[in-house]
Amino acid sequence: MVYLTRGVVATGLTLLAHSVAVTAKESSASPIVADGTHFALNGKNVAYRFHVDNTTGDLLGDHFGGSVGDNIPLEVIGEVNGWVSDIGRVRREFPDQGRGDYRVPAISIRQSEGYTVSEFRYKSHKIIPGKPALPGLPATMGTEEDVSTLVISMYDKYSDVAADLSYSIFPKHDAIVRSVNVTNHGTGNITIESLASLSVDLPYEDLDMINLRGDWAREAQRERRSVAYGLQSFGSSNGYSGHLHNPFLALTEPSTTESQGEAWGFSLVYTGSFTVNVEKGSQGFTRALMGFNPSQLSWVLPPGETLTSPECVSVYSKDGIGGMSRSLHRLYRNHLIKSKFATSDRPTLLNSWEGLYFDFNQSSIYDLAKEAAGVGAKLFVLDDGWFGKEYPRLSDNAGLGDWVPNPDRFPDGLEPLVKKITDLKAANTSTNMRFGIWFEPEMVNPNSTLYDEHPDWALHAGPYPRTEARNQLVLNLALPEVQDYIIKSVSDVLKSADISYVKWDNNRGINETPSPATNHAYMLGMYRVFNELTTQFPDVLWEGCASGGGRFDPGVLQYFPQIWTSDNTDAIDRISIQLGTSLAYPPSAMGAHLSEVPNHQTGRTVPVAVRAHVAMMGGSFGLELNPAVMDEEDKAAVPGLVALAEKVNPIILNGDMWRLNLPEDSNWPAVLFIAEDARNAVLFVFQVAPNVNHSWPRIKLQGLDPQASYKVDDGVVYTGATLMNIGLQFAFKGDYGSQVVMLEKQ
Ligand SMILES: *[C@@H]1O[C@H](CO)[C@@H](O)[C@H](O)[C@H]1NC(C)=O
Ligand SMILES: *[C@@H]1O[C@H](CO)[C@@H](O)[C@H](O)[C@H]1NC(C)=O
Ligand SMILES: *[C@@H]1O[C@H](CO)[C@@H](O)[C@H](O)[C@H]1NC(C)=O
Ligand SMILES: *[C@@H]1O[C@H](CO)[C@@H](O)[C@H](O)[C@H]1NC(C)=O
Ligand SMILES: *[C@@H]1O[C@H](CO)[C@@H](O)[C@H](O)[C@H]1NC(C)=O
Ligand SMILES: *[C@@H]1O[C@H](CO)[C@@H](O)[C@H](O)[C@H]1NC(C)=O
Ligand SMILES: *[C@@H]1O[C@H](CO)[C@@H](O)[C@H](O)[C@H]1NC(C)=O
């Protein structure tokens, strides 16, 4: 037994230090070892251990960190005095509510009688090769070679409620993925008031927490602070993962840096509102919870029904924050993104938005497409403004919901224009241009035929006014008829012409809902729509967008291999936004474009090469401008920059990312991408502010093979050791410089 009763402690000073052995012959080799009621998950460099307390049936955490041997010392539990009882002094895997653990619970259930006490005890477990899909939810996936799953069944005999905790381990990626499902075996309705996908108690030590905060046009700003006693919490309540906080948390030692020290990364595979709670309790343990936002759940579970939580990915690295990110990137590239484009080259695109906004007709669109082809783009994207019949979309106050081409602009539908554009060849190639189009299918303008016919399809709460944002309301995707309408109207457009790319936008948060549970029901409906459409159109390249990075999360990535990172296209701001986003998400997932100057969001003028170099660090490179109105010299530089973007694209898409200098810390942010096969690498170095009468720092590379030789751009060959221990130095002049350097292993 692991924690002591008061009687036992009172008899002596010496406290028990237990140790347990997980069957020696198996433990180091098998990803999952269950020895009685002691459990071990083993990755390449990660170990996770927990066991069942044999008096209380509680699940107690023993270790989540670097690899360990078969015998491990268990927690030493002190004398219990004061109000916090035994249950509040242990490291629990599934903390329930109402019995003396005064920390934040992972589950809270309101019984039909009104009380909210639960007592979940271990009942059984099973090991499943591979990883079962989560019903209706996005999830990481893999073969039996890639992943194994341990399911622990817990049961509350007083309420007849079961909870299955799933732990899937991807040993190669040092990733453990957790989720919970709750089933009501009783006779009355119960209400799930809170349910965390992940709950872990780390031992008594000082930790830092890192999260990504922001707002529109300044997403993914890295925030690092010490974990203090008490609760520190963040999340989203706008119905989506949102701009304000990303569903990502890192815990680190206070001394952990980009390249050294322990780091735990947690990433919630969910697109709805969420809550992250980090609580340092009276014993000094740090509890981390991640899951549904309890203020938007209140999920009624009738007898026989199950609620499945989204899953939470956790990774561990002892190679600092960079190591943590690279594990998440590899896992997401290989085991999350379903699209066939996940790791295949993305076409350079030109999007009409910042070039023409709502002000276009077929001939001006065609002219822009010709300009796009002329500078080397391979895909032309028609953004907002192409649709609406009775309520044509000429500005942002009408048309959303009516996904038919505007007959004034497209009297014969999209087909003739699409045909003309896809007959164009990208400059100096025999490649035909491709055509892409913009949608915002989850939204409706009150000025629309859809709203005239179905005002009840817009989310609303009884008599309360329907708050508009950007003149629009949100459709209730919890309703099957709304899901069917979206699937049909989007697929009708995609079938009407040769369309090979979709930008799926979503430009406001959710306000009034008929019930708190509508928020999760909406997500289930939205995932059904995403799944049906991406399955029906697997050759379409889908890009997610939500006023920029308002829905940059692993849930969206399951269906859409790329997401527009931010509406802020200012190159200097983008360095922070893209490097922040890369804490959790692979660069392959980021859409990043070269746009006009002065920048439309910040008013800043940055040289064209710097703008392009920042953008080509994202997997989907594009242009957000009208080449016809560009400065001549800048325009002349574009074809060369497009060619460079296409050259580095395979490394960005499949490579490992090493953040060498962060924009928060250095005037010379630098990033190295090393191809999966380690043969090629590309280094990006930037100068932000001028540097007068001062030397320039050496950029020490990382992650190379010290013994190997690498040819650097100009033909000079250095060993990996030289590049990592001396580094390369670059001279810059003035504001905003950049260098892109190719490395080739000899
Ligand atoms: C309960 O577990 C403790 C520590 O692991 C062990 O010493 C004890 O024998 C167990 N008791 C029972 C009844 O299995
Ligand atoms: C709950 O999860 C477990 C583990 O994945 C699974 O075996 C079980 O079928 C699930 N129950 C339901 C009703 O989905
Ligand atoms: C139980 O929940 C179902 C579904 O929400 C509802 O239709 C039913 O009226 C509820 N029953 C009671 C007794 O509240
Ligand atoms: C299309 O728009 C362009 C630019 O605004 C304008 O010059 C042209 O006359 C328009 N063409 C038609 C057919 O309306
Ligand atoms: C096409 O070739 C011409 C002549 O070599 C060159 O000037 C131009 O930049 C090229 N365009 C692109 C997009 O590569
Ligand atoms: C509907 O469109 C009209 C005409 O453009 C505009 O004046 C009005 O403000 C719009 N209404 C809403 C609710 O956006
Ligand atoms: C350094 O300072 C001297 C004296 O002011 C000036 O002549 C020179 O141009 C400066 N050099 C640089 C690289 O700024």
* CB proximity list for 315: less than 8 A, separation 6 or greater: 46, 173, 174, 175, 176, 264, 265, 324, 327, 328, 331
389-412 residue pLDDT tens = 999 999 999 999 999 999 999 999
Ligand closest to the CA atom of residue 732: 7
Active site residue 86: no
Ligand 5 atom with the smallest distance to the CA of 376 is 13
Are 684 and 670 within 8 A, CB to CB?
A: yes
Write down the residue that tokens 């209730």 correspond to. Answer: 476
Residue 532 has, within 13 A of its CA and on its CB side, a CA count of 15
Atom of ligand 4 nearest to the CA of 363: 1
Query: In this structure, is residue 152 part of a structural domain?
Result: yes
Q: How do residues 361-387 score in pLDDT, each as one tens digit?
A: 999 999 999 999 999 999 999 999 999
Are residues 329 and 366 located together in one domain of the fold? Answer: no
Task: Tally Cβ neighbours within 10 Å of residue 421.
Answer: 26
Q: Does one domain contain both 270 and 388?
A: no
Å from CA of 615 to ligand 5 middle:
21
CATH (domain of 14): 2.70.98.60
199 shares a domain with 84: yes
Torsion 288-305-529-449 (CA) sign: negative
Q: How many CA atoms lie within 13 A of 353 on its CB side?
A: 21
Catalytic site residue 505?
A: yes
CA 216/CA 455 separation, integer angstroms: 29
Give the dihedral of Cα atoms 86, 75, 71, 41; nearest 10 deg: 80
Check pLDDT > 50 for residue 16. Answer: no
- For the chain, report the end-to-end CA distance as a whole number of angstroms: 59
Q: Which of 53, 62, 567, 573 is catalytic?
A: 567
Q: 239 with 376, same domain?
A: no
Query: What are the Cα distances from residue 388, in Å, to 402, 407, 508, 636?
Result: 5, 8, 20, 37
Place of tokens 């709805």: 272
Tokens standing for residue 443: 């939204």
Q: Residue 85 has what pLDDT?
A: 87
Ligand 5 within 6 A of 427 CB?
Answer: yes
Return the residue matching tokens 């629009």.
Answer: 472
Measured from the CA of 375, which atom of ligand 5 is nearest?
A: 13
Decide if pLDDT at 318 tops 70: yes
Out of 153, 306, 524, mutate this one to test ligand 2's pocket (max ligand atoms within 8 Å of CB): namely 306
pLDDT at 293: 98
300 lines ligand 3 (CB under 6 A): yes
- The mean pLDDT of the chain is 95
Residue 26 has pLDDT above 60, yes or no: no
Q: Is 545 helix (H, G, I), strand (E, B) or coil?
A: coil
- pLDDT score, position 22: 54
Residues 289, 419: one domain? no
Over residues 255-287, the pLDDT tens digits come to 999 999 999 999 999 999 999 999 999 999 999
Strands 620-624 and 349-351: parallel
**Mean per-residue pLDDT for 566-571?**
98
Q: Are residues 212 and 325 in the same domain?
A: yes
Query: How far apart, in Å, are the Cα atoms of 173 and each of 290, 453, 604?
Result: 21, 50, 41
In a domain, 630, yes or no: no
The token duo for 613 is: 């170099």
Structural domain includes residue 137: yes
Position 453 scores a pLDDT of 98
CA angle 272, 277, 282 (to 5 degrees): 165
In CATH, what number is assigned to the domain containing residue 482? 3.20.20.70
CA-closest residue to ligand 6 atom 8: 397
294 and 430 share one domain: no
| Placement of tokens 């002000």 in the chain | 359
Protein residue whose Cα sits closest to atom 13 of ligand 2 = 306
**Mutate which of 348, 370, 378, 428 for ligand 5 pocket (most atoms within 8 A of beta carbon):** 428
Task: Find all residues with CB under 8 Å of 524, minimum gap 6, and list them.
Answer: 136, 137, 478
Per-residue CA distances from 1 to 24, 58, 184 (Å): 21, 11, 30
Is 418 within 8 Å of 437 (Cβ atoms)? no
Asked whether the predicted pLDDT for residue 656 surpasses 50, the reply is yes
Which pLDDT score, from 0 to 100, does residue 80 have?
Answer: 76
Catalytic choice (62, 86, 101, 505): 505
Give 698's strand partners: 729
User: 23 pLDDT exceeds 90?
Assistant: no
Answer yes or no: do 326 and 356 share one domain. Answer: no
pLDDT of residue 29: 67
Would 657 be classed as within a structural domain? no
Binding-site residue ranges: 216, 383-384, 470, 503-507, 545, 567
Which tokens go with 408?
Answer: 């004034």
pLDDT 10s digits, 197-219: 999 999 999 999 999 999 999 99
State the total domains in the chain: 2
Residues 303 and 366 in one domain: no
Binding residues for substrate: 216, 383-384, 470, 503-507, 545, 567
Domain presence at residue 580? no
Whether residue 461 is found in the same domain as residue 313: no
Task: State which of 564, 591, 607 marks the end of a domain.
Answer: 564
- Predicted confidence band of residue 12 (pLDDT cuts 50, 70, 90): very low
| Ligand in closest contact with the CA of 3 | 1
What is the residue range of 387's domain?
Answer: 349-564
List, for residues 591-643, the tens digit of each pLDDT value.
999 999 999 999 999 999 999 999 999 999 999 999 999 999 999 999 999 99
Domain end among 516, 542, 564: 564
Residue 323 resides in a domain: yes
Verify that 312 and 362 share a domain, yes or no: no
Q: What's the rounded mean pLDDT across residues 142-159?
A: 98
**Picking from 26-40, 233-247, 252-266, which range would have the lowest pLDDT averaged per residue?**
26-40
524 belongs to a structural domain: yes
Q: Are residues 414 and 497 in the same domain?
A: yes
| Buried/exposed 640-663: b ≥16 CB within 10 Å, e otherwise | ebbebbbebbbbbbbbbbbbbbbb
Domain membership flag for residue 500: yes
Radius of gyration of the chain (CA): 27
CA angle (356 as vertex; 353, 357 as ends), nearest 5:
55
Judged by its nearest atom, the ligand closest to the C-alpha of residue 187 is 3
Paired strand residues for 59: 52
pLDDT beyond 50 at 496: yes
Distances (CA, A) of 360 to 368, 415, 436, 534, 558: 10, 17, 16, 29, 34
Alpha-carbon gap, residue 170 to 335, rounded angstroms? 9
Res 696: pLDDT:
96
